Structures are given as structure tokens and as C-alpha cells.
Amino acid sequence: MTLRADHVAGGAAIAAALAVLAVSGDLPFGTLAFPGAGMMPKLVCALMMMFGAILVVRGAASAPFSDIGWSDLPHAVRVLAITAAAVALYTTLGFVVTMSLMLFALIAFEGRNLLAAAVYSVGVSLLTYWLFTLVLKSPLEQGILGF
Amino acid sequence: MLGFSVALRPDVLWYGFLGCLVGTLVGVLPGIGPLSGISILLPITFGLDATKAIVMLAGIYYGSQYGGSTTSILMRIPGEASSVMTCIDGYAMARNGRAGAALCIAAVGSWIAGTFGVVVLTAIAPPLAAFALRFGPPEYTALLVLGLIFLAYMSSTSLPRTLLMAAIGLLLGTIGIDNLTGHFRYSFDIVELGDGIGIVPVAVGLFGLGEILSTPSATVVGQVMAPKLRELLPNRKEWRQSGWPIARGSVLGFLIGLTPGSAHIISSFLSYAVERKLSKHPEEFGHGAVAGVAGPESANNAASTGAFVPMLALGLPTGPVTAVLMAALIIHGVQPGPQLVNEHPDVFWGFVASMYVGNVLLLLLNLLLVGLFVNVLRIPYSYLYPLVIMFCVIGVYTVNNSIVDVWIMLNIGVLGYFLRKLGLDPAPLVLGLVISPTFELSLRQSLIMSNGYWTIFFTRPIALALFLTAALLLSLSLFALTRKHADWRTKLAEAEAGEGAQ
């Protein structure tokens, strides 16, 4: 049997619903006259499992999983890793430093001129900081360096 | 008159103009849709009053529908999903040396359709809101069920896929403190999760970051055709050919806009199919048919205006964009729904009147500044997408000054990437998340007030009528699911395939 996109999607939905049900033990379902906090999540989990099962059963109509192109995965992983690092540093280093570094790293990895990337990154970060802080009166994170 | 006295105030006019300008840019730039544009700029409106905030954010929405046509016509890249059909004949017109005429027809068609939509909105929203005052919890439950079923029926993917996505959204919406019992649900001792998951991190993650993760810069290429300003006016024949398609697109788009789902996208596809069917020269479609630009562009603008009717009158979002706009109003202390006209007449009428003004501004912007927008398209994508990521981070963080929200956005971005890979549409997830609290509350209130008798949903006339309509739509969807050829999606795909073959 060929593994197809809907088999994976349906299977993942069923697994996610079962995982949510597993951590919902302390939420009471209640009664019809007084539904508890667990009623809605448990009903929705049941629906997720039902739709997931339909997808698995009718999966033959979808594209084979092996046909899905993953050529963009390295780009996605790189963008995600750089952004995650920036988010981790954001409150410590502040907006200008973190965003300058993030922009520079993202552009540098695209193989662009490093000097142009550095000027662009610092310029854009400073301009955005000025725009939000002074013009829009919406202060951005300052961090330990104060900007 | 109250509306115009609000909309024409210089400060409101300024924010309306700003929204239209940003919206046009959002529409022009590939990879940034109106949803991510609105979500990212939402925190900027926190310092404004509700009227200015909604006028600006709505300007971004309908401005993006205007701007989306520019890249479609000049680069054959849809700046916005609803402009896909404009690529076919718009780009063909540009290759035939009629780029200016195509841009002008798209802008004028958008203006007529947008204004038509606002006129009908002005007429029907207040009486609809008055009718909705009769709604109690059972009617709201039925209305939201109907909304979800309608969404599944109108969605571009299949019924189980759409409802699965909506169910995930409903589940995410249950995170946080239960309003009726005070139980903490799935917060895992993270204080920020006590208030639940916000719509902004989810919307920005799915549509902003998710889009960028699946778009490597090497794939974004295209040549920009620069139109000459003197060629901007269409000739008499082109005007004549665009008249009826604009009229039909306006009516069709508005009606589809009233329904939940990706209305502005579906309306442009249907309008294209209708124009091709009615044309005396269907062979011209694909080679620069004026109707192939005029119809879809009018339809997507009318649909974006139509989507405001259920949002303003019923408090029911029909898509992710109206869901974010609703969230914006709620953040500003204004609850959209039947009471909006009476409780906040300045917001309601100011917003409606601003759309009349906004459509005129957009017509001028899109005709006079087309050269500027073309230059924006020359910015390399490798410089553009890091900027979008930066605004995603700022946009999400500034809502609550919470780094947890940014981590949620990152995780949802990864989810969005995999959903795209599996061919699942993320839009119903956002809709499910937005309606989840109202749906749960009205469902539980209905059961409590009937002492546990679920027949309450079938003994009240309005709720019964809504449930019967939902059952009818569900039957039609199931019929289409079992007999694939009866599905309107299959027919539309066949029409498109026929188009591509020519």
C-alpha cells in the first residue's frame, strides 16, 4: 500500500486528539444539564478523530506522500533556527541588537554581499526602532543595553 | 451623515489613507497577504480609538484587493490569492502592450464593485442586526454550526479536511481558564496560557511565518513590466467590453462575500468561469480578454466588502481576515454584533462611510502611484523576507509584551509549514479559534437553560431553520464527496484545466 498525504494527515490528527484526551483526565465532562469544562475539548477531540479516520479511509484519492517536495526544508530549518535564536535573545539584548543580528544572519545565508547586508540590517533596525518608539509611541524591548 | 462626519475628520481620513496605502503595498508584495499585514500592524492601532483603528485595518484589507492586481498584470505573480485569475488575461494584456489599460480596468472595476458593496452593506446591515437581536444562545449555536458547515461547503479543499482544520481551531480555542467553572485547561503551569491562545500569534504564524518557511528566495523570480502612464486609459472598445463583467462580478462577489470561507478567492474564480461561459468569444480568454480582468477583479473587491455584513451585523467572522478585524474591535472595547449600531453608532457608520472614501482614495492611489509600486517589486526577496519576519516578531510581541506569544507564533509557523505540505488549508483553523469561545459558551448556556434537553435547538423556529439549512448543506457536501463529478470544485478545476489547455 502506498503511503499518501491524507494517511499522514489523518493519522497525525488522530494521534493529536488521543494525546489531548490523555491530558484531559482532570477536566470533568459534566452532565447535559450542567456541562463541565471538559465537555467541549472532549467533543472536539472526538470530531478530530472522526475526520482523521475519514481522511485515512479516503486517503487513496490524495497524492503519494513520497511525491511531496521537501526542497524548501533546508531554507525552512535555517530561517526557523535563526528566528528562534533571535527570540531567545530578544528580551536580554533588546530590539536593535537582536533584530540587526537576525536580519544580517538571514541575508548573509542567502549569499548576499556581507557589507550591504550589515548596513541594511542595522539601518532597518534603527529606523524601525525610531518609528515605533518615537512616531507610533509603541515602545519596543530595550534589553540590558538600553536600546 | 453621522458616518461621513466621522469619516471625513482629518485624523480619521489620515488613518484611512494610511490603511489604503499599506494595503496596496501588502497586495503588491508577493508572500504577504492582508491577514499577515493586518495582524502585524494590529499593535500599532492600540494607541488609537476604535474608529480610527478599524478604519485603518479595514483599509489594509480592501486595499490589498486593489494592489493584488498589479503584480498579477505586470509580473504574472499574484500578489494576493484572490488575484490568481487576473494573472491569466491581465498578463496577456500586458504582453500585448495593454498593461496600462489592464491596470486601469482592474482599478475602476475594483472601485465600482467596492462602492456597490458598501451601498448594499449600508442598506442591509442595520435591518439584519435588528433581526439578530432575537437571537439567544440556541440560535447563536445554530448560526455558528451553520457557519462551519457553510465554510466546509465553500472551501477549496474537501469537507473532512476543512472540518478537521476547524476542529483543531476549536480545540486551540479551549486553552485557558474556563469561563463557567474556572478550571485551567491545557495551560501546563504557563501563566500566559491562562488567558488562552491569542488570534494574532496563530494568524501571523500560519500566514506570515508559515508562508515564508515554504518560500525559498530562489523560487521568487519574475520580470517586472513597467507600464507607460500615457497608456493607462483603456480605449472605447475595452471600456465597452468591461461594463457587464464589472456589473456581474460586483453582484456575484458581494453575494459570495456574505458566506463563510475564502469568499474573495472563490468569487474571482467563479466570476472568471461565468465570464468565459457567457462570452461570445471564449477563445480570447487566456490571450488577453478584457472580461477576464474586469470580472474577477470586481468580484474579489465586492466579496471583501460583503464579508463585513455578517461581521458587523451578526458578530460572525466569515474568514480569517474578518476574524482578526473582529479581534481588533474587541481589543478596543467594541463588541461586533447586533448591538453595534445602537451602542457604537460612530464606529459603525464611521467605518461604513470610510469605505466610500477609501474606495475613491484607492482608485487614485492605484492609478497615479503604479510606477512607485512597480519599483517596490524590484526589492530582492532575500532582503524582503527577513524584514517580514522582523515585523512578525514585533507584531506578535507588542500585543501583550509577551515572549511566550512569539514562541507560540514560531510553533504555529512550523505547523503551517507542514499543513501546506499536506495540502491542508490553514484558514478554517483560524476561524475555528475565533468562534470557539462563543460557540462553547452558547452551547453550554443552551443546555443549562433547557435543563439538559438538547431538543431546545429544534423547538425554536430560528434555530431550527438554521440547523435545517446546515443539514441541507451537509447533505450536498456529502453527496459531492461520494460522487466527485457533482462537486463544484471538480467542475471549477475542469474549467481551469480547459483554460490552461488553450
> For residue A79, what is the nearest residue in chain B, using CA coordinates?
B213
CA distance B108 to A21: 53
Chain B hits for A121, Cβ within 8 Å:
386
Instruction: Tell me what pLDDT residue A87 has.
Output: 95
* Nearest beta carbon to residue B185 from set A9, A37, A62: A37
Instruction: Tell me what pLDDT residue B80 has.
Output: 64
> For residue B406, what is the nearest residue in chain A, using CA coordinates?
A87
CA distance B17 to chain A (A): 16
| Interchain CB contacts (distance < 8 Å): A and B | 162
pLDDT digits (tens, 9 = 90+) for B364-400: 887 777 767 666 667 788 888 898 889 888 878 877 7
pLDDT digits (tens, 9 = 90+) for B402-435: 899 999 999 999 999 999 899 888 878 887 887 8
Q: How confident is the model at residue B143 (pLDDT cuts 50, 70, 90)?
A: confident
CA distance B373 to B375: 5
Residue B75: how many other CB atoms lie within 10 Å: 22
Q: Which residue in B355, B352, B367, B313 sits closest to B335, CA to CA? A: B313
CA distance A42 to A40: 6
Q: Is B300 helix (H, G, I), strand (E, B) or coil?
A: helix
**Hunting for cell 470544485 — which residue is that?**
B489
* Nearest beta carbon to residue A103 from set B178, B214, B386: B386
Whether A12 shows a pLDDT value over 80: the answer reads yes
The amino acid at B339 = Q
pTM of the prediction?
0.78
CA distance B140 to B295: 35
Q: Which residue in B198, B216, B208 sits closest to B391, CA to CA? A: B208
Question: To the nearest whole percent, how much of chain B has pLDDT over 70?
Answer: 87
Whether B499 shows a pLDDT value over 60: the answer reads no
Chain B hits for A72, Cβ within 8 Å:
213-216, 219
Bridge partners of B185?
B176
Q: Which of A67, A80, A112 to mutate to test the interface with B (most CBs of B within 10 A)?
A: A80
* Nearest beta carbon to residue B216 from set A36, A44, A72: A72
- What's the average model confidence in pLDDT over A112-132? 91
CA distance B422 to A61: 13
Instruction: Tell me what pLDDT residue B501 has.
Output: 41
- What's the average model confidence in pLDDT over A17-32? 92
Distances (CA, A) of B344 to B22, B300, B380: 26, 28, 44
Question: To the nearest whole percent, how much of chain B has pLDDT over 90?
Answer: 15
Q: Which residue in B182, B176, B178, B179 sits closest to B195, CA to CA? A: B176
pLDDT digits (tens, 9 = 90+) for B12-45: 888 888 888 888 888 777 656 777 778 777 777 8
Whether residues A87 and B44 touch (CB distance < 8 A) is answered with no
The C-alpha cell at A138 is 509603541
Instruction: Tell me what pLDDT residue B253 has.
Output: 87
pLDDT digits (tens, 9 = 90+) for B46-61: 778 888 888 888 888 8
Instruction: Tell me what pLDDT residue B419 has.
Output: 92
Instruction: Tell me what pLDDT residue A22 has.
Output: 94
Going through B52-191 in order, the beta strands assigned E by DSSP cover 176-177, 184-185
Instruction: Tell me what pLDDT residue B207 has.
Output: 77
Chain B hits for A113, Cβ within 8 Å:
none
CA distance B163 to B319: 14
Question: Which of A16-20, A138-142, B468-472 is the most confident on average?
Answer: A16-20
Q: How confident is the model at residue B5 (pLDDT cuts 50, 70, 90)?
A: confident
Q: How confident is the model at residue B228 (pLDDT cuts 50, 70, 90)?
A: low
Chain B hits for A124, Cβ within 8 Å:
387, 390
> For residue A139, what is the nearest residue in chain B, using CA coordinates?
B398
Residues in chain A, total: 147
Chain B hits for A19, Cβ within 8 Å:
none
Chain A hits for B410, Cβ within 8 Å:
80, 83-84, 87
CA distance B211 to B374: 22
Instruction: Tell me what pLDDT residue B218 has.
Output: 62
Q: How confident is the model at residue B496 (pLDDT cuts 50, 70, 90)?
A: low
Instruction: Tell me what pLDDT residue B110 has.
Output: 85
pLDDT digits (tens, 9 = 90+) for B237-263: 888 889 999 999 999 888 888 876 666
Contacts of B53 (CB under 8 A, 6+ apart): B15, B45, B46, B328, B329, B332
pLDDT digits (tens, 9 = 90+) for A59-89: 888 889 988 888 899 999 999 999 999 999 9
The mean of the pLDDT values for chain B is: 81
Whether residues A86 and B397 touch (CB distance < 8 A) is answered with no
